[in-house]
Structure 1
Amino acid sequence: MYPTEFVEYMVHFHGDRDYFECHEILEEYWKRIDPGNKESIWVGFIQLAVANYHHRRTNIMGAKRTLEKAIAIFKSQSEVITQLGLEYTKLIEDLNGRLSEIEKRLPYSSMVLPICNSSLLEECKHSCKRTGFDWGKHSDLTNASLVHRHKLRDRTGVLEERERAFSIKKRQR
């Protein structure tokens, strides 16, 4: 009923709090089903994960900017949010509250998305348990590989792709 990638996103968002992985999962999905649409609901969820990643790392400006973009997308897609099993009004309230916390430079705390569809919630919890995560567990702020994942990952593929794109542009000139 729900895209597998969305369930995986929710499992990481609420299980191991690996927001970087949330971003990776949904970015690939978005590029496959709705490429180039910067107002896609999937972009909103990607930005939400990125905002949490930035906030946890105390990148206040990055968290604020990214969360504002996510909220704008979510506000324009109430029906889609509801179809995805989330309580729209509560989601917007929670995100505005989070934005206020960020603006006040309050420390990061793990958030829970307001899932109102019981079958989605059960599917996510079951998948979370199967992967060995604890649903609703708070972020381990001492886990550097989680908190600073973007700095520790292998960027070989990204750099190769960037070089390939540069070469193509150069040949087109």
Structure 2
Amino acid sequence: MYPQEYIQFLTHFHGDRDYFECHEVLEELWKKTDSGNKDSSWVGLILLAVSTYHHRRGNYKGAKRTLEKAVKIFETPANLGLDFQQLNNLLSSRLALINTEAAYTSFELPICDPVLLEVCKKSCASTGFLWGQESDTANISLIHRHKLRDRTDVIRERDQSLKMRKGSE
């Protein structure tokens, strides 16, 4: 049906509102299935999660930049079990909120596939979160997760990539 990583993305997006984790799980899927395609629907969802993460933190510039990229990707519908007309309307309204620097509010993606929705709700319940609950904006580890994580592997990978590029010049 749908990749497990996508189910996890939707579970986090609508359950614990861990948008950082949304990015992480879909990035792995994107690398496995469509790596290098910056117009992939997976990239669009990653950008949406990143934008929402920034918006919640009050980083309106980052939220706007990433959401504008996602909007362009979603001009082309994909088979993700989402209502793309509603999704595009939602993204436009979110962009308007960001442009006026309105405070973050939780929202739901327009899932139109009832089987996908049921699978995601069950997944969410199994994690101990309620589907559609509001974001816990008092949870500092959730809000500022990127500052609190161990970046050793990321830094090592970037250094190796840089060395490889320099070696091929």
**Residues of 1 paired with 2:9 and 2:166: CA distance?**
37
* Aligned counterparts of 1:172 and 1:120: Cα–Cα separation in 2: 45
What is the identity, as a one-letter code, of the residue corresponding to 1:48? L
Shift of 1:17: 0.4
Deviation of 1:154 after TM superposition, in Å, equals: 0.2
2:48 aligned partner: 48
Quick one: distance in 1 between partners of 2:125 and 2:65?
Answer: 33
Residue 96 (structure 2) pairs with residue 100 (structure 1): yes
- Please give the alpha-carbon distance, in whole angstroms, between the structure 2 residues aligned to 1:71 and 1:171: 37
Q: In 2, Cα distance between the equivalents of 1:17 and 1:166?
A: 34
Note the C-alpha offset of 1:120: 0.6
Identity %: 56
Aligned positions of 1:57-136 closer than 5 A: 57-75=57-75, 77-78=76-77, 80=78, 83-136=79-132
How far apart are residue 8 of structure 1 and its match? 0.6
Shift of 1:170: 3.3
Q: What are the Cα deviations for residues 66-118 of structure 1, in whole angstroms up to 9, with x where unaligned? A: 0011011001x22x1xx211111111111100100100110000110011111
Aligned to 1:164, what secondary structure does the other structure show?
helix
Alignment of 1:157-172 (within 5 A): 157-172=153-168
Q: Counterpart of 1:113 in 2: which secondary structure?
A: coil
- Structure 1 residue runs of 5 or longer lacking an equivalent are none
Q: Please give the residue correspondences for 1:23-38 in structure 2 after superposition, counting only pairs within 5 Å.
A: 23-38=23-38
Q: What SS does the aligned partner of 2:74 have?
A: helix
Distance 2:166 2:39 in 1: 30
Gap runs ≥5 in structure 2 = none
Q: Partner of 1:17 in structure 2? A: 17
Letter in 1 for 2:42: W
CA–CA distance in structure 2, aligned partners of residues 74 and 170 of structure 1? 35
Q: Per-residue CA shift, 1:1-49, capped at 9, x if unaligned?
A: 1111111100000000000000000011001100100000000000000
* TM-score normalised to structure 1 length: 0.95
Counterpart of 1:154 in 2: which secondary structure? Answer: coil
**What is the RMSD of the two structures over their aligned residues, measured on CA atoms?**
0.9
Aligned length: 169
